[in-house]
Amino acid sequence: MQDIPSTEEEWDELAEVVSASGGNHPHHMAMDWHENIQDGGLKAKDATLEDKCAIIARIGILTLSAGAGGWRVRETMNRIARKLGVVCSAEMGLLTISLTCVDGTDRETLVVTLPKTGINTPRLWRMETFLKDLEACCADLTVRECHRLMDQIERDTSKGYKPWQYGLASGFACCAFTFLLGGGPIEMGCALVGAGLGHFVNKLIGAKRINTFACISVAVATACVSYLLALTLLGFIIPGAGTHIAGYIGAMLFVIPGFPLITSGLDIAQMDFKSGLERMAYALSIILVATLTGWLVATLVHLQPTEFDPQGLSPEMLFLLRLITSFVGVYGFSIMYTSPMKMAATAGLIGAVANTLRLTLVDASVAPEAAAFAGALAAGLLASAVRRKLTFPRLSLTVPSIVIMVPGLYMYRAMFYMATNDAMNSVSWLFRAAMIVIGLPIGLAVARILTDRHFRYIS
């Protein structure tokens, strides 16, 4: 916490900061970790309880800021607390960590918060490596050296791709998603344009620190309008192209909140209801805003949900194209989560196998909910096997590979019929979407129970 300015120069400096931020004070005050160090020259294991608590809290908040679930954040903090010789009791939500560290008769409580949630898979990766290194050599590192290493992680992983690269990844991901929903070349091309421009705008206005839900609304509206404009322009070149409106939903699927939706289920599986329910509420809020915006644009131009035309592909060709588009879709979503290309390609290969398995089971008359469970289970098992060879975090491989299984089309139709007071159709589509969404984290949880002994047992 910063001191109140006491000189005219300090007040002038504060005024410049406020002016640079648009005249508004930030809602969350930044923590200066170095200013709060009690004795930075001491070894971490011999440091004061206040310094140990600060190290544990910062490790937790960095892991939370990368998109990890509450269970993973708590495990990370506990591992370091044991090495530092203190007992840590922590409670976390979507944006907040409250922890108490106890050392004998002394105790220290600290509450840290994030200004917003996000996904940063390189930070997840770096934090896992840092955690192993810190466990091995915390007796040799000073308090100040620990914070400098975390400074480097925070600085190096804050840089992602450029907005146009995110837009391109989003466009190809949603283009592939549209094919997997049953769309043809016209729907895929228009979805590429709509999703690409929509996510590009989302990144541009998000960098201005605009309210999250306002960003989502503007981005989805841009995507929907761009899809319709692209479809209209194609109509002048290809007769009958203007009737291919079924792919309209594909243009907005880049807003699916995959990480909070999946990690909420994993947290609930570990009885961490505070974190799980907060993440679920956030994910449902994003879905609600996105689908309402899509419905509003559709209403303004008098669109109704329609079915895709038959793709007319042989079973062999359909299987091959599903493998390819599943890879492209998962790869694109991974890039949207700032994953390095090798990590994104690995997730893409896992997703290609898992999602093609799911769709094949659906074609074989297996219930979509059971197929979603099987696909998520396969993704979890494959990620665990791959992780033994590579050092990628399991979450950075599993979530992108099953985001493509989230039934965005069902969610949109449920909201469309709800807004038009068609309760019967709305409840039907909503129930089908909910059952599939529930099956995804259950499949991942079962895979984790089978392959991760830390997840398998309770304390």
Give 319's pLDDT tier (boundaries 50, 70, 90): very high
pLDDT (tens digit per residue) in 427-437 = 898 899 889 98
Range from 2-11, 352-361, 397-406, 433-442 that averages highest in pLDDT: 352-361
Q: CA dist 97 to 194, 275, 340, 369, Å?
A: 38, 10, 28, 34
Distance from C-alpha of 336 to C-alpha of 104, rounded to nearest angstrom: 46
The 10s digit of each residue's pLDDT in 115-169 is: 888 888 888 888 888 888 888 877 678 888 888 988 888 887 777 789 999 999 9
- Statement: residue 328 has pLDDT above 90: yes
pLDDT tens digits along 1-55: 344 444 555 545 555 555 555 545 566 677 778 787 877 788 888 889 998 999 9
Phi/psi at 25 (5° precision): -75, 145
pLDDT tens per residue across span 226-279: 999 998 898 888 887 777 787 888 888 898 888 888 889 888 888 889 999 999
* Region of residue 155 (phi > 0: left; psi between -120 and 50: alpha; otherwise: beta): alpha
Helix axes 394-403, 368-387, angle to 10 degrees: 150
Tell me, what's the pLDDT at 31? 75
Q: pLDDT per residue over 43-76, tens digit each? A: 888 889 998 999 999 999 999 998 888 888 998 9
At 1 the pLDDT is 37
What would the pLDDT profile of 168-192 be if each residue is shown by its tens digit?
Answer: 999 999 999 999 988 889 999 999 9
**What pLDDT, on a 0 to 100 scale, did the predictor assign at position 423?**
85
State which amino acid sits at residue 83: K
pLDDT for 459 = 63
Q: In whole angstroms, what is the distance from residue 288 CA to residue 284 CA?
A: 6
Q: Which amino acid is at 349?
A: L
> Any idea what DSSP says for residue 94?
S
Q: Tell how many helices (H) and how many strands (E) occur in the chain.
A: 17, 3
What's residue 27's pLDDT? Answer: 66
Would you state the pLDDT for residue 9?
53
Q: What is the number of other CB atoms lying within 10 angstroms of the CB of residue 407?
A: 22
Query: What's the average model confidence in pLDDT over 97-111?
Result: 89
Distance, in Å, from the CA atom of 325 to the CA atom of 170, rounded to the nearest integer, reads 13
Location of structure tokens 């608590």: 53
What's the CA gap between 396 and 9, in Å, rounded?
46
Q: Is the pLDDT of residue 293 over 50?
A: yes
DSSP conformation letters of 267-300:
HHHTT-HHHHHHHHHHHHHHHHHHHHHHHHHHHH
pLDDT in tens, 359-386: 999 999 999 999 999 999 999 999 988 8
Percent of the chain scored above 70 by pLDDT?
A: 93
pLDDT (0 to 100) of residue 118:
84
Copy the structure tokens of residue 337: 């989560």
